[in-house]
Amino acid sequence: MHSFFSFGASAPSVKQPVVLGMDGGGTKTEILVADLEGKIIASHVGGPTNLAAVPESEALDNLETTLSAVFQNLRHVDVQRAVVGMAGVDTPSDETRFHYVADAVFASFGIENYTLLNDSAVALANGSTSPDAIILIAGTGSICFGHNAKGETARAGGMDYLLADEGSGYWIGRKVLRAVVRANDGRGPATALTSLVLEHFKIKQVHELKQKVYEQQLSKMGVAQLAKVWEAALLQDDLIALHIQKQILEKLLALVGAVARSLSFSTEQFDLVLAGSIVQLPVVEPHLRARLKDAYPHIQIVVPQTTPAHGAIALALKNVQKE
């Protein structure tokens, strides 16, 4: 792609070649622009652009606003490659829909075509340059994605909260709510989660949860925030919270196992990138590391220190170098 973006009446004869990387999600969108040496020269974090999480009109407004903020001080650039990592792009129909909605916005900024990927692919590129690598993401939702030296890819999970998302913040939050209701009914054991949930929602009785969840339409993010409540109960050695911890580890290990088998990773070395708020919790990460090391003694576990949008930049630069 050799497009340009310029402001003003007159353009210089030489435009600066750059690449663009984007990570679009259900809570925020980050766009970076870098020169061909990989130096970030512009960046901005805007609102969500995940079409599965927000209305099309809101996603478009956020995309345009974020691009405008990125380019406002870049007067004359030639965007040679752009890579967009987008949450919710899981199927060919998802890709078609995103292109239909967003292409005109990108074109208005001189970006006539771009590489569209699931956000897990750019997150993996942010954490590893190895040809044999897997990323496990567990935040509000969960997904595992990987590739091998043969160019094969595999994924598990990432089908949203009704179909998958095991071990995620939402999954934990739902476990918490159901444990509290069962305890209140007498169908389950008493748990410290009850008082913590009541305090979290600022209510006095468990039956008031119904209004909080349904009448006030508790969002996926709102449910996922209950992972903090679970963590607090776990620190009190609550038995239900301990059981949930065990299940989290099992579910996340199952995601990695499915992808590792698909890519024929068994005894060989590969990178495993851990990302997302849940896998990075002190009550999850060390236990998960230990279980992963037991299962795959030769893995190299990586926790990225930069954001996934940097992975999109890395992939865009790689595409430029292939030319």
Domain ranges of the chain: 3-113, 129-304
Single-letter code of the amino acid located at 291: R
Upper half-sphere CA count for residue 206 (Cβ side, 13 Å): 17
Q: What is the per-residue pLDDT for 9?
A: 47
* 226 alpha carbon, distance to own chain's centre: 18
| Geometric angle at alpha carbon 255, from 282 and 53, rounded to 5° | 80
Which pTM does this prediction carry?
Answer: 0.89
Q: What is the per-residue pLDDT for 11?
A: 47
Digit-coded pLDDT (tens) for 119-154: 999 999 999 999 999 999 999 899 999 999 999 999
Per-residue pLDDT of the chain (323 residues; tens, 9 = 90+): 544 454 444 545 688 999 999 999 988 999 999 999 999 999 999 999 999 888 999 999 999 999 999 999 898 899 999 999 999 898 999 999 999 999 999 999 999 889 999 999 999 999 999 999 999 999 989 999 999 999 999 999 998 889 999 999 999 999 999 999 999 999 999 999 999 999 999 999 999 999 999 988 898 889 999 999 999 999 999 999 999 999 999 999 999 999 999 999 977 799 999 999 999 999 999 999 999 999 999 999 999 999 999 999 999 999 998 87
Digit-coded pLDDT (tens) for 178-210: 999 999 999 999 999 999 999 999 999 999 999
Q: What is the per-residue pLDDT for 13?
A: 60
Name the CATH superfamily, with its identifier, for domain 3-113: ATPase, nucleotide binding domain (3.30.420.40)
User: Under 8 Å CB-to-CB from 276, ≥6 apart: which residues?
Assistant: 136, 137, 138, 139, 142, 168
Q: What is the per-residue pLDDT for 174?
A: 98
Q: Closest Cα partner for 106 from 76, 74, 81?
A: 81
Q: Closest Cα partner for 275 from 311, 316, 222?
A: 311
Measured between alpha carbons, how far is 130 from 117 in angstroms, rounded to an integer? 18
The CATH number given to 129-304 is 3.30.420.40
